[in-house]
Structure 1
Amino acid sequence: MTQAGPPMDVSETKEAQRRSFLVYVPLLLFGFLVILFLFRLFAGDASRLPSALIGKQVPEFALQPIAGLSDKPGLSSADLRAGRVTILNIFASWCVPCHQEHDTILRLSKDAKLASLGVRIAGIAYKDEPANIRRFLGEDGDPYALVGDDRSGRAAIDLGVYGVPETFVIKGDGKIVYRFVGPMSEEAYRDTIFPEIEKALR
């Protein structure tokens, strides 16, 4: 007849339960992170990410022209306080969505209505090489009245840029009134960005 072993005491039972629970902790944490990621992914339009700078002056910066684009001036914060509403586009030649939105921005640069309102388009080339920027603008067209070389990314960081492309609407006094994240489409321009430009003109 086989004898049963000594009964497990209460402390051993609790320890066994604790170990079995710890096995599931990583799974629970992973599940929580997946749910959080999905919630953030589908919670709203990324283009409407808030900006702490809305309603404030553009940060101080002075960017050199793109080397080799002798006819194109650089860009500074003072240029954005010169009395004209500016569409400020942060872009890079290596950025696929920047190429996707480029036709839209090019058309805006030739828009007679915007020109009559005194609105201009300025660009900041983010962490890019001059030769690549020149090739990008040479092949796809250059919509910018001014474009600054932000190879360090410092000016973009000060503007709160998460990544490229991003577009800001800036009043003639240098105040940021709107920020659009992601590639600009004709629909986004018509329904969202142009109404913000109209507000900036008032």
Structure 2
Amino acid sequence: MKKFLIPVALFIAIGVALGRGLFLNPTYIPSPLIGKPMPAFSLPLAATPNVDLTNADLKGHVTLLNVFASWCVSCKQEMPNLMRLHALHLVRLVGVDYKDTPQGLHHYLDAFGDPYSMIVTDKRGMTAINWGIYGVPETFVVNKQGIIAYKFVGPISYRKLHAKLIPMVKRLEAQPA
């Protein structure tokens, strides 16, 4: 009887573990940066490459840091929703142009619009590595103190925009600096 009980218990434990995996969100990738200060960076502005934007420049404002590229198909999918967000004037949206060319960026913005307050360029991708970027697009929500509050992996859909992002921005904006 005992010989039979151990394999059955093991089978049940494996079944529970695998069954739990069915209910996990496949688009959620946890970030060790959530709840921590944003990594230090200094990147040139796309409009004026001799001027850098640093992490210190983002403090005092709720900021969305959107990592994108002109060659990214999913980035093109999320642009209408970023344009909707821009039209609401709720939050500062900073674009990080990842491993791209100035010409690619120019054509991309001409084709899809420019929702960004400012755009910086990460030509070598080193800042993206420090931020733990898996791919593009990825968007970070940074609070007024420079703490990363949330990370969106993949394109921001209309549903994510209205169900998660806008309420989070409003909540963070209501908090003192």
**TM above 0.5:** yes
Q: CA deviation at 1:47?
A: 3.6
Residue equivalent to 1:132: 104
- Mark the runs of 5 or more structure 1 residues left unpaired by the alignment: 1-37
Residue equivalent to 1:23: none
Structure 1 stretches (4+) deviating beyond 6 angstroms?
none
Residue equivalent to 1:145: 117
In the superposition, the TM-score normalised over structure 2's length comes to: 0.80
Q: Which moved more, 1:88-97 or 1:133-142?
A: 133-142
Give the CA RMSD over aligned residues.
2.1
Q: CA deviation at 1:167?
A: 0.6
Percentage identity across paired residues of the two chains: 42
Task: Work out which of the two has the higher radius of gyration on C-alpha atoms and give 1 or 2.
Answer: 1
User: Residues 95-129 of structure 1, C-alpha deviation per residue, up to 9 Å, x if partnerless?
Assistant: 000000001101111114x1xxxx21111011111
Aligned-partner Cα distance in 2 for 1:132–1:59 = 27
Residue equivalent to 1:35: none
In the superposition, the TM-score normalised over structure 1's length comes to: 0.71
Residue equivalent to 2:87: 110
Which one of 57, 63, 66 corresponds to residue 43 of structure 2? Answer: 63
- Mark the runs of 5 or more structure 2 residues left unpaired by the alignment: 1-17
User: Residues 104-161 of structure 1, C-alpha deviation per residue, up to 9 Å, x if partnerless?
Assistant: 101111114x1xxxx2111101111111011101221111111110011111111111
Whichever residue aligns with residue 79 of structure 1, its letter is: D
Which one of 29, 32, 43 corresponds to residue 52 of structure 1? Answer: 32
SS at match of 1:143: coil
User: Residues 31-71 of structure 1, C-alpha deviation per residue, up to 9 Å, x if partnerless?
Assistant: xxxxxxx99x96633442111010111111111122xx349
Instruction: Tell whether 2:61 aligns with 1:89.
Output: no
Residue equivalent to 1:187: 159
Contact 1:74–1:149 (CA<8 Å) still a contact in 2? no
Contact 1:46–1:182 (CA<8 Å) still a contact in 2? no
Aligned-partner Cα distance in 1 for 2:37–2:143 = 9
User: How many residues are matched?
Assistant: 155
Aligned-partner Cα distance in 1 for 2:24–2:69 = 25
Aligned-partner Cα distance in 1 for 2:56–2:69 = 23
Residue equivalent to 2:140: 168
Aligned-partner Cα distance in 2 for 1:79–1:70 = 16
Aligned-partner Cα distance in 1 for 2:78–2:37 = 26
Aligned-partner Cα distance in 2 for 1:42–1:126 = 33
